[in-house]
Structure 1
Amino acid sequence: MALALGGAAGLALTAAAPAASAPAASAGGGPADARTVTYQARLRPLNHQTGSGRLTLRLRESTATITEQYSGLAATLDGRPYPHLQHIHGGARGMCPPASADRNRDGVVSTAEGTPYYGRIQATLSVKGDITPQGGTDLRNAPKGPSVRYQRTITLSPAAVASLHKGIAVVVVHGDDPRTLGRKARNEKSELVPSLPLAVTSPALCGVLRAIPAGGAVTGTGSTAGTGRSTGAWLLGAGAGLAGAGALARVLFVRRRNRAAFRPA
């Protein structure tokens, strides 16, 4: 089976996405991406796979430093390490597809069926070489094997940067284990690259890239989680309350003293 599938095959995977709008300007008049912003995606399994992982992307202007690790995916394909194509998708709903996206009822959400949810490829996360959508199906440059520790610094397109700023950028790792699929899906060919099995180009892991605070990921549960009120803000509020209570006590003291001074003998 041929492993190099760039060019026309790559174009088939990413048929021209609409142009994304430029990042909004900040309040100070400069571009919103003039500082480093950190995004994270928790990678969850799709299509009956069992893997998991996490990807962190640090963006400064259009330069993205990416670190990723995942495990639990299919290990081999035709006796060789399984090439797991992976991309940043965007320009759509910013979601990982639900099982109901399987329109032809073969038990697999294919890349095409998932596109309305996560959008078209805006960057290829290859280990070397082409990072454009056109390189999206080049198996030679894909991470290989059941687990990976990936790190690379790349320059993103304006469309990819815009998707990150809008919160609709999605990481998709492809390559299902055919043994986990039903008989119908196991025998199907990829609708994108007919020389490949459907499993090779179907999503295995997916996660939405979300911006995280400078100090780290947001934590906390229960009714107080996500209120955005810091400890410092609470202390300031408490201090203001105590100051107010002290002022009220002084007013009451003065009033009592004045009443005592003018009380008839």
Structure 2
Amino acid sequence: MTTVVTSRQLEARLIAPSKASRIHRFGGPEVISLEDMVPAAPGKGEVLVQVKAVGVGPWDARIRAGKSILPQPLPLTLGSDISGVVEAVGPGVIGFAEGDEVFGVTNPHFTGGYADFAIATAAMLANKPATLPHIDAASVPVVAVTAWQALFEQARLTPGQSVLVLGAAGNVGAFAVQLARRAGLQVQATSSARDLGYVRYLGADTVFDGASRWFECHLPPIDAVIDLIGGENQALSFAVLRQGGTLISTVAPPDQLVA
């Protein structure tokens, strides 16, 4: 049976004050302050999570600096990727109960996670595997979902098709290679020289040194390119992208004139 609690009930059962990393203005790291906060009661479709670990990504810095593409009303608590234990569930939440270990993203604004307790949208959480430590689980959500969306929601790749992952040794790239391999795709990739072996281990069929070996001279037409580094590599990738293929970039809009 699901039990819904109020903010007053939460405050009464917490022994120590809850802390959160907050900002009241946009700027550099100096605008972050550690503040006492009383956890809010979860609303409809929400879960209150006792946070055990948080992930840090470049989007957090953009939000802090006021450069997010999403509206970010102040003040706010930074952080999106969390792993922890369900403290309470809001009305209408199915599939989670107090005491469950979960991980995921807090909400569509990517905020609220750098705290002892975080309110999260239930639909953006998943049950954490028992074999996955909290600190590892917190590193997964945004980067893994980004890779998945690029491959299967944007490029709409299917088994047997080919993909070129530019910058495959990074967080998003590593997930893209593994997800592509498991989906039965032909996986080509670029990385720095020191990471060639690592990317092969992840499952890439061929890995090119993006700094010294030009992949456009060695690849057949590719169904999709996932660009995670931008710059010259993105421009060169058009040479191997088949007609009607898809180029998706997380770092820079593709040059439509070159395309």
Greater C-alpha radius of gyration: 1
Query: Higher strand proportion, which one?
Result: 2
TM-score of the superposed pair, with normalisation by structure 1: 0.23
TM-score of the superposed pair, with normalisation by structure 2: 0.23
